[in-house]
Each structure stands twice: as structure tokens, then as C-alpha cells.
Amino acid sequence: MPTRLNISEQELVARLQRNDRMAYEHLYDNYCTALFGVINRIIPDEETASDVLQEAFVKIWNNIKGYDADKGKLFTWMLNICRNLAIDKTRSKDYGNSQKNQSTEKSVNQLGQMQSESIKPDQIGLREVVGKLDPNERLLIDLMYFKGYTQAEIAEEYNMPLGTVKTRLRSATMNLRKLFK
């Protein structure tokens, strides 16, 4: 059962920065499922995704004093940490080797589990909000946040300058913020 603290995000961050145990429990209980969903979209193997989630929370806890509310919401900051760790994991040599060596049966089972158990953005209305974006912005958001592409990979895949990709993603993110308000 999630730990319920009736406090603002600002107060939560302040308590986390003071190493308040209840705040850490609240953070984990209330955000682990959503963050696991993001990681699991990039890393389909549930066990590896769980390991990355654990590593992400350690990094979040160790770096909470560096969080700056002026640069974005706490969830966005944590989401980026999780996403970056998941992408780093998929690029690691060990992960690449493990994926080459896994059995076909395990792959089939993972696909079935992913389809039935993963958090679906449609269920929380995220796809609907993203659907209101311009088609080009929607494509970039989908590639980056739902499929795990990096900005450089998008630039290479769509033969666009990296600066253009960055500018368009920033614009798309700002438009999403407006839609959420």
C-alpha cells in the first residue's frame, strides 16, 4: 500500500533532502510503478528492468540534493534518470551479450508478458494528450519517450540535424506542458 503523505512536491523534496525515511518510502511507493513502466518499455526483460529501477532509485536518492525545481518537476527529473539508465543498460556490452544468448522460448514469453502486463499510456490518458500534438511533434515524443530513442538516434534515423531534433523536442515538450495544465 502506497505511503500517503499529504504534502506538496516542494515539501517532499525538502524532506528527501533532509534524508527523511517516510519521504523516501512515499517517493518509492508512489512512483515505482510508473517509473518501472518507462524502464520496461526500453528493457523488456522484467528482471533486468527491475535491476535498473533499483539502480535508478539509488541514483535518485544519492542525487536528490542536486534536484532543481526551477528546471522541472520531480517526476520528470526521476523519469529522465530512469530513461537514461535504461538506455545505458541496453548499450552495455553485458546486456548485448545476454540478449544474443537468451533462448527463443524466453523471448516469446517476454513478448506475451509485455503485452499483457505493461503499463499502457492509453490507460492513464497520456496517449490522448500526446495525440493532440502536431503529427511531427507526436512522432518525436513517441520515438523518444515511448520507444527509447535518443536524440542522436532520431536525428540519424530521420536524417535531421541534431540541433533540429533538440529544438523540435523542446517545442513538443513545452506544448505537452500546456496541454497538461
CATH code linked to domain 1-118: 1.10.1740.10
**Burial per residue of 92-116, b for 16 or more beta-carbon CB atoms within 10 angstroms, e otherwise:** eeebeeeeeeeeeeeeeeeeeeeee
Percent over 70 (pLDDT), the chain: 77
Entry pTM: 0.55
Tens digit of pLDDT for each residue in 66-103?
A: 998 888 889 989 999 999 999 998 887 665 555 555 54
Tens digit of pLDDT for each residue in 119-142?
A: 444 444 666 777 788 888 888 888
What stretch(es) of the chain map to CATH 1.10.10.10? 120-181
Look at the block and give the residue holding cell 518509492. 28
Cα torsion 58, 63, 65, 70 to 10°: value is -120
- What class does CATH assign to 120-181? mainly alpha
pLDDT class for 16, splitting at 50, 70, 90?
very high
Q: How would DSSP label each residue in 64-133? A: GGG--GGG--HHHHHHHHHHHHHHHHHHSHHHHHHHHHS-HHHHHHHHHHHHHHSPPGGGGTHHHHHTTS
pLDDT at 175: 85
Bigger pLDDT: 132 vs 114: 132
Distance CA 20, CA 24 (A): 7
Question: Are the C-beta atoms of residues 81 and 17 closer than 8 Å to each other?
Answer: no
Q: Can you give the length of the chain in residues?
A: 181
pLDDT class for 117, splitting at 50, 70, 90?
very low
What stretch(es) of the chain map to CATH 1.10.1740.10? 1-118
